[in-house]
Amino acid sequence: MLNFSDRLIEAIKKKNSVLVAGIDTTVENIPDYFIKKYYDNEKNEIENLKYILFEYNRRIIDAIEENIVGVKFQAAFFEQYSYYGIEVLHKLIQYAQNKKLIVIFDGKRNDISSSAKGYSNAYIGETALFDKKIKFFDCDAMTVNPYLGEDGIKPFVEDCERFKKGLFVLVKTSNPSSKDFQDLIVDGKYLFEKVAEKVHEWGASCKGKHGYSDIGAVVGATQPQAARIVRSILPNSFLLIPGIGVQGGKIEDLKYFLDKNKMGIIVNSSRDIIYAYKNHIHSDFEKSSFIASKNLKESINSVIN
For the annotated catalytic residues, the residue numbers are 108
Burial per residue of 90-129, b for 16 or more beta-carbon CB atoms within 10 angstroms, e otherwise: eebbebbbeeebbbbbbbbbbbeeeebbebbbbbbbbeee
Are 115 and 129 in contact, with CB atoms under 8 Å apart?
no
Q: For 136-164, b where at least 16 C-beta lie within 10 A, e where not — what string? A: ebbbbbbbbebeeeeebbbbbbebbeebb
String of DSSP letters for 124-169: TS-EEETTEEE-SS--SEEEE--TT-HHHHHHHHHHHHHHT-EEEE
- Give the single-character DSSP code of 101: -
What are the residues facing 217 on neighbouring strands? 169, 239
- Residue 42 to residue 297: CA distance in whole angstroms: 41
